[in-house]
Structure 1
């Protein structure tokens, strides 16, 4: 059996090493990507309207008036292969991206317009590795926050974001709403069955910590079994709000998706927007 990564255990780059070669195939661009760009455009205008840098355009054309994204500095954490970053750059954002996986960044660099994005290889839980701010928007999309599975890593991200934001900047988090975990829960499910392959997902969860360890098991006729390991630490929206508050942030708004559907606590996902508390701005 082939196992990725080659070193024992899990680290910040495990997810990228496991999925970089199949990420775009398994998680293609979809309608939600367009909705995300549209929503982030709107949020950037909000962040820029009262920003100290709003006047960096011409005297008759302040930055916030030239279009929502035009000139807004956005940092995407866990940029991956650029599913969001590339259309954001095309929309006019000044995009900075950070990822702990060199394999993911290599996939991104092969794509058109990738040269327009400033890329940083580093662990998003390490504040010292972050690119220099301030940023109008900091984005943690597609469950990036849960990929920080080490204890304290999620709290570190909130603290780092608070320090990296411009005074009117916003932290935007997209995540699923976890179902309650059973004690020592173990599951095996089928992700995909095609004529060429079968992909299974095996998971083991620890309810007391919210930690879920998993393997995507890829079976192809005549080829070695491919194991794609990952580990996450899930948190409820309320728990994320507590981490934000400890970092000097407060919830500005929360919806169920990028299109602005009203938030449902019993739903499956949320997009949450945090701002600096007035005393922190």
Structure 2
């Protein structure tokens, strides 16, 4: 997508992100991560406005959040005046943190890296920062749900219209989209550029990074298996030597 940088998505959507995704509850995500962390530190890559990180920190978990978008982190800090979440501005491909973590959490962020090479590098760096008994927890999109190109109406109200214009490149597995919000005579564009991976490719990339799959579900509560019709999956990986 011409003119799109890694921080573009966060920079453009930061001031309205929580409003646009207000119907999503982090409860099951937080419960799962608290259980997996078992008192240890958590690193969230692509922390955004802290929708998961802040509830985790309020549960007594030590949380470090990395994001490439300063406007996103500014929204998090505004909601976190006590500094419960340690925030780090940077490209999480390079993992600009020190130490090891019991849980590395990546919620729909790995797919925001532009190519297979950067995704593989990110996973290798994650493996280096996992505690020997640590776990990588990923939520990733199911490509089967995002391969249609065209224009879709997402939401209509008396004073708002939300549209999604999307294109999919099956050769490079790239999904390009514009979430168009028409409100009060104004138009807002929220662009997205993603590289979608199948579960098989993701497992192979993790294996090459020294991580093995230990579980995969269709929801954060881990009550049902991942099925072909699901929009995303929750996958857990541990170091091979663990």
- Find runs of 4+ consecutive structure 1 residues off by over 2 angstroms: 220-223
Deviation per CA, 1:103-123, whole angstroms, max 9, x where unpaired? 100111111455111111111
| SS at 2:83 equivalent | helix
In the alignment, is residue 259 of structure 1 matched against residue 225 of structure 2?
Answer: no
Q: Which residue of 2 aligns with 1:9?
A: 3
Deviation per CA, 1:225-256, whole angstroms, max 9, x where unpaired? 32221100111111110110010100011111
Alignment of 1:19-98 (within 5 A): 19-28=13-22, 30-31=24-25, 33-45=26-38, 69=39, 72-98=40-66
Alignment of 1:180-191 (within 5 A): 186-191=149-154
The answer to whether the 8 A contact 2:146-2:175 is kept is: no
Task: Give, in whole Å, the separation in 2 of the partners of 1:16 and 1:114.
Answer: 23
Shift of 1:259: 0.7
Q: How many residues end up aligned between the 2 structures?
A: 240
Which runs of 5 or more structure 2 residues have no equivalent in the other structure?
none
Alignment of 1:196-211 (within 5 A): 196-211=159-174
TM-score when normalising by structure 1: 0.80
Shift of 1:181: 6.8
In the alignment, is residue 140 of structure 1 matched against residue 106 of structure 2?
Answer: yes
Alignment of 1:110-129 (within 5 A): 110-112=78-80, 115-127=83-95
1:241 to 176, 185, 203: 203
- Structure with greater Cα Rg: 1
Q: Which deviates further from its counterpart, 262-271 or 76-85?
A: 262-271
Q: Which deviates further from its counterpart, 115-124 or 189-198?
A: 189-198
Which runs of 5 or more structure 1 residues have no equivalent in the other structure?
1-7, 46-68
Q: Which has the higher strand share?
A: 2
Alignment of 1:103-182 (within 5 A): 103-112=71-80, 115-127=83-95, 130-141=96-107, 143-179=108-144
TM-score when normalising by structure 2: 0.93
The answer to whether the 8 A contact 2:104-2:130 is kept is: yes
